[in-house]
Amino acid sequence: MSERIDPVCGMAIAEQAQITYPFHGEKYAFCSNQCREAFIAHPHVYVGRLGQKAPKKLGVEVRKERTLKLDEQPTPEQTRAIEQALAAVMGLKDLTVRGQRVHVIYDLVQVTAMQIEAAINAAGVQLSQSVNARLRRAWVGFGEENELSNLGVRNHDCRH
């Protein structure tokens, strides 16, 4: 059986993978929709540009640490649901749920705060809807999007 490598997380994927995406004449395979979405949003982070190696292939990791506030304190069942939902998220390095706070450490090259938030919501738990919390999440999302875009165009082979 032939295998391909997921360009986002590095996982080996069977040749007949169902989650794929064509890019510049090549068909890439992914272990999850999360990895496919990351690739589609910023392909050059994972495959590079002409004459430049991809940041991912150079071992670039962008560690982020965030604390997300929940609408209310989760029940023990909701806490387990959050932990299970986030255990399936590629690139999550650490997770702590304490009271109304979910603290995460993650690699931005593999997962964004917005994807983490979506996993928490999918677990049936609401993030705080206060104006401050929503603005903070929007600002983080905007910053991460710009950081990934810049990562995809930088020349990582240059030495300073």
pLDDT band at 69 (very low <50, low <70, confident <90, very high): very high
Is 119 part of any domain? yes
pLDDT band at 109 (very low <50, low <70, confident <90, very high): very high
Asked if 84 and 28 sit in the same domain, the reply is no
Say what the pTM is: 0.84
The yes-or-no verdict on residue 19 having pLDDT over 60 is yes
Is 93 part of any domain? yes
What is the percent of the chain where pLDDT is above 70?
A: 94
Is 38 part of any domain? yes
Provide mean pLDDT across the span 118-124. Answer: 95
Asked if 21 and 89 sit in the same domain, the reply is no
Provide mean pLDDT across the span 29-51. Answer: 91
Our count of domains for the chain comes to 2
Asked if 81 and 122 sit in the same domain, the reply is yes
Is 58 part of any domain? no
Asked if 78 and 31 sit in the same domain, the reply is no
- In terms of Cα–Cα distance, which of 27, 34, 26 is closest to 9? 34
Is 159 part of any domain? no
Residue with tokens 């995406």: 21
Say which CATH number the domain at 132 has.
Answer: 3.30.70.100
Question: CA-CA distances (angstroms) from residue 152 to 2, 78, 122, 155?
Answer: 29, 37, 29, 9
Averaged confidence pLDDT in the chain: 90
Asked if 99 and 141 sit in the same domain, the reply is yes
Is 79 part of any domain? yes
Please say whether the beta carbons of 85 and 32 come within 8 A: no
Is 54 part of any domain? no
Specify the DSSP class assigned to residue 125: -
What pLDDT, on the 0 to 100 scale, is given for residue 2? 64
Asked if 118 and 43 sit in the same domain, the reply is no
The yes-or-no verdict on residue 126 having pLDDT over 90 is yes
Model confidence pLDDT, tens digit, residues 70-102: 999 999 999 999 999 999 999 999 999 999 999
What pLDDT, on the 0 to 100 scale, is given for residue 155? 54
Please say whether the beta carbons of 97 and 83 come within 8 A: yes
Instruction: Show Cβ contacts of residue 100 under 8 Å, excluding neighbours closer than 6 positions.
Output: 69, 70, 71, 72, 73, 74, 128
Residue range(s) defining the domain that contains residue 38: 3-47
What pLDDT, on the 0 to 100 scale, is given for residue 158? 45
Model confidence pLDDT, tens digit, residues 148-160: 999 887 654 444 3
Is 52 part of any domain? no
Asked if 33 and 103 sit in the same domain, the reply is no
